[in-house]
Structure 1
Amino acid sequence: MRRGVLVSGLCGTVALTIAGAVAKGADGALSALAGALLSFVVLLLGLLAISAVVAGDPGASMAGAGLVFMGQLIILVAAIALLRQQPSLDGPVIAAAAIVEVVLIQVGQLRGYVRARHAIDPQAGRA
């Protein structure tokens, strides 16, 4: 999963920065880079936090993962709101790049999860 997030996040950041440059010039490139990089860092740290939560108590893993996900969303929205107030950055470009980056990273994360090996409990099904 980490590889999927890294690959999709890095490729998405580069592609969105180029798209921002084509659409709005240097300010657009900087704005797209800020939005994409923000999403990339927050979601990567969230993945590491979810990995730590899942490695802990199995009974609390779903609640902990949900809490991490909600925390990621709150941090992203707050950071985007702060970035949009910067006069040198283009707010709509930041928001669009952040949204597209989140979708790309989620696709990479899902693809990594589907391809991962999952432990099977040999005791399952026995009474």
Structure 2
Amino acid sequence: MRTIQSRSGARSPVRSMLLTSLVLSAASVPVIALVAWLWRGQTGALSALVGALVVVGFFVVGHFGVRAVVAGEPGLSIAGAFVVYFGQLITLVAVFLVLRRAGWLDGRAFAAAAILQTLVWQVGQVVGFRRGRHEIYPDVTLPSGRS
């Protein structure tokens, strides 16, 4: 798979967004599980851990799916991104249906962890985007001959 770059060769901020979200997730998942353990006990901690990891998996798979689609034919980007998102939702519903029958699952801890982890991931996306390098004038040639 090729790296997402502009015509002048500058990288897009997509990698920074993913890495920042993963770093924040790596820090937040144990904290979320610990808070759930204090709130709901051992079952709550395990449920929160599963909830947070389901969210991280959802976003990571979506990131790489959309990245692969965007690297392909430009005219199919929106349709391809929709297919990736629709596939994610189907998988998520399947995960929920399987976990619904799990007797050990604490629904409140799972849901709270999923919501918190979603917020953490989104903050990571915004921070990563702000810290990423953005090409402002991709078609401008400098007097030195460089783009």
TM, length-normalised to structure 1 = 0.82
The runs of 5 or more residues in structure 2 that have no matched partner are 1-16, 141-147
Q: Give the Cα separation in 2 of the matches to 1:62 and 1:37.
A: 27
1:20 matched residue in structure 2: 36
Contact 1:5–1:44 (CA under 8 A) maintained in structure 2: no
Q: Once the two structures are superposed, what CA deviation does each residue of 1:13-56 show, in whole Å capped at 9, x if it has no partner? A: 11210111010111111010010011111211211111111111
1:122 matched residue in structure 2: 139
Q: Give the Cα separation in 1 of the matches to 2:114 and 2:99.
A: 11
SS of the equivalent of 1:23 reads: helix
Q: Which has the higher contact order (CA 8 A, sep 6+)?
A: 2
Q: Give the Cα separation in 2 of the matches to 1:90 and 1:13.
A: 16
Contact 1:49–1:68 (CA under 8 A) maintained in structure 2: yes
Contact 1:35–1:80 (CA under 8 A) maintained in structure 2: no
Specify the structure having the higher radius of gyration (Cα): 2
1:2 matched residue in structure 2: 18
Q: Give the Cα separation in 2 of the matches to 1:113 and 1:53.
A: 20
1:49 matched residue in structure 2: 65
2:78 matched residue in structure 1: 62
The runs of 5 or more residues in structure 1 that have no matched partner are none
In proportion to residue count, which structure has more helix? 1
Q: Give the Cα separation in 1 of the matches to 2:89 and 2:27.
A: 22
- What percentage of aligned pairs have identical amino acids? 41
TM, length-normalised to structure 2 = 0.72
Q: Give the Cα separation in 2 of the matches to 1:100 and 1:42.
A: 14
CA RMSD of aligned residues (A): 2.0
1:82 matched residue in structure 2: 98
Distance change >3 Å, CA 117–CA 48, structure 1 → 2: same
